[in-house]
Structure 1
Amino acid sequence: MKYLKKALLLSLLLISHVSFGQVAEKALRLFIIGNSFSQNATAYLPSLVKENNQQLVVGRAELGGHSLQQHWEYAEAAEANPEDPKGKPYNGKSLRMLLSAGTWDVVTMQQFSYLSADLESYSPYAEKLYNYIKSLQPNAKILLHQGWAYRSDAKKFGRVAPEQLAKNQEEMWQKSRAAYHAVAKQLKVGLIPVGDAFNAVATGTEYRFTKDMNFDYDHPVSPNLPIQTNSLNMGYYWKDNALVFDPNHANEAGRYLGSLIWYALLFKESPEKLQYVPKEVPAGFAAYLRSVAAKTVKDL
């Protein structure tokens, strides 16, 4: 777990504003309760919004590596004692303080990726957070952000039950997908199917990632890297003369795909019409990702 914690980003703790035009009242107000995966999956959302001259206000309660249970326990601590520092982990603010900053149209939450395939880990925290959000923002639409499975060459995968890990990417995806759908059905909320889109790419034919079997992983030489074409995850990279492996977090292509899904769900528009592409993502791959995003949202 140590390498995960080091790789996870610090939370974006302050409410950020991404608005375009003069009429702020027309902005979609989005509040995200999550962790580094929600940060990854919305990285290019502002750029996509800007392209179409739309307006978006984003509030964030994101802490790297955090689960639904941890977010709920912070809220619970703050409710018991508003002055308790344990209840104000978001840059000195509580979840109540952030959620009460205006009216939010959409509020999202997600499970920590390592626990996402373990249905038991959602209970009772997803329901408690749902009820808490509704008590503060009764008119908000609540959505579950579905995370993705780790890359196929990961050395270990997420938990599917206490003391039991998924055997591979496929099992992690199937069980995390089942868990998210079960919780969404229980709470009667919608899903942001980023995990489904990642899996569609991972199991596709034209742009599927495959591990480079010719690279010497045991004796790497800087700055050489294995071929990682079509990866949606960070994978291997050099840092401080050490070869780092992060098969979990999204790279620029993965962030682009996630942002396309979020955009399509929030603004009810096809991502295939979008022109913006991060400079790190090849044009052909980007076009394919837009088509995957469109199909994933359509099939939801």
Structure 2
Amino acid sequence: MNGDWDIVILQEQCAFAVLNEEAFCTSTQSFDEVIRKAGAQTALFMLWGYKDDPEITNQRVAAACTRISERLDLPVIPVGLAWDAVAHSRPELDLYLFDGMRANLHGRYLTANVFYAALFGESPEGLAYIPAPPGVKRVITAEEAHFLQRIAWETVQAYP
């Protein structure tokens, strides 16, 4: 690996992180060694679980990611926990596309705000940008944007 990187973010497929945690740890450790040798820091992107799968939940994905981060002493971008917070406080605000796995516009916006909060160490609350891509049927309202920004910041602050 070569390049002038400060941080390299690793992402595991959420089902694999839950169902094969040891392999997740081994591969993360291998990548981390290469990343550190290049002078950069590794961080883990904690994904969200599947919408209607009791085996691949936000909490199980978060637990697996947290255990790996503790074993390897890596920071985490706790996106999955932010998704869980939205699901509990505003269940009507769906973050998923029709397949129950991928993020819709609201889910992507929340994810971006968690990344902002984790990487910059400051609240995304008050950021003016609210995406409104053409052809999207359900746009993000200003109130929803503020709510998602707040959840992102609270989640990052509360994460160990």
| TM-score with structure 2 setting the length | 0.88
How far off is 1:198 after superposition? 0.2
How far off is 1:114 after superposition? 2.0
How far off is 1:121 after superposition? 3.4
How far off is 1:273 after superposition? 2.3
Q: Once superposed, what is the RMSD of the aligned Cα atoms? A: 1.5
Query: How far apart, in 1, do the equivalents of 2:114 and 2:58 lie?
Result: 17
More helix, by proportion: 2
The SS at the match of 2:48 is coil
Match of 2:126 in 1: 273
Match of 1:116 in 2: 17
On the 8 A contact 2:35/2:41 being kept in 1, the answer is no
Match of 1:284 in 2: 143
Q: Which amino acid aligns with 2:91?
A: R
Query: How far apart, in 1, do the equivalents of 2:151 and 2:59 lie?
Result: 18
Where does the alignment leave 5 or more consecutive residues of structure 2 unmatched? 133-138
| TM-score with structure 1 setting the length | 0.48
Seq. identity, %: 32
Match of 2:136 in 1: none
Query: How far apart, in 2, do the equivalents of 1:111 and 1:294 lie?
Result: 23
Corresponding residue pairs, total: 152
How far off is 1:123 after superposition? 3.4
Mapped pair 1:132 → 2:34: yes
1:1-300 → structure 2 map (5 Å cutoff)? 96=1, 100=2, 102-118=3-19, 119-135=21-37, 137-138=38-39, 140-151=40-51, 154=52, 157=53, 166=55, 172-204=57-89, 207-209=90-92, 230-235=93-98, 246-279=99-132, 280-300=139-159
The SS at the match of 2:131 is coil
Query: How far apart, in 2, do the equivalents of 1:182 and 1:149 lie?
Result: 16
Query: How far apart, in 1, do the equivalents of 2:18 and 2:142 lie?
Result: 33
Q: Which amino acid aligns with 1:248?
A: M
Q: Which amino acid aligns with 1:249?
A: R
Cα deviations by residue, 1:205-240 (Å, 9 ceiling, x for unpaired): xx213xxxxxxxxxxxxxxxxxxxx110112xxxxx
On the 8 A contact 1:233/1:249 being kept in 2, the answer is yes
Where does the alignment leave 5 or more consecutive residues of structure 1 unmatched? 1-95, 158-164, 210-229, 236-245
Q: Which amino acid aligns with 1:112?
A: Q
Query: How far apart, in 1, do the equivalents of 2:25 and 2:67 lie?
Result: 11
Bigger radius of gyration, 1 or 2? 1
Query: How far apart, in 2, do the equivalents of 1:148 and 1:294 lie?
Result: 17
How far off is 1:264 after superposition? 1.2
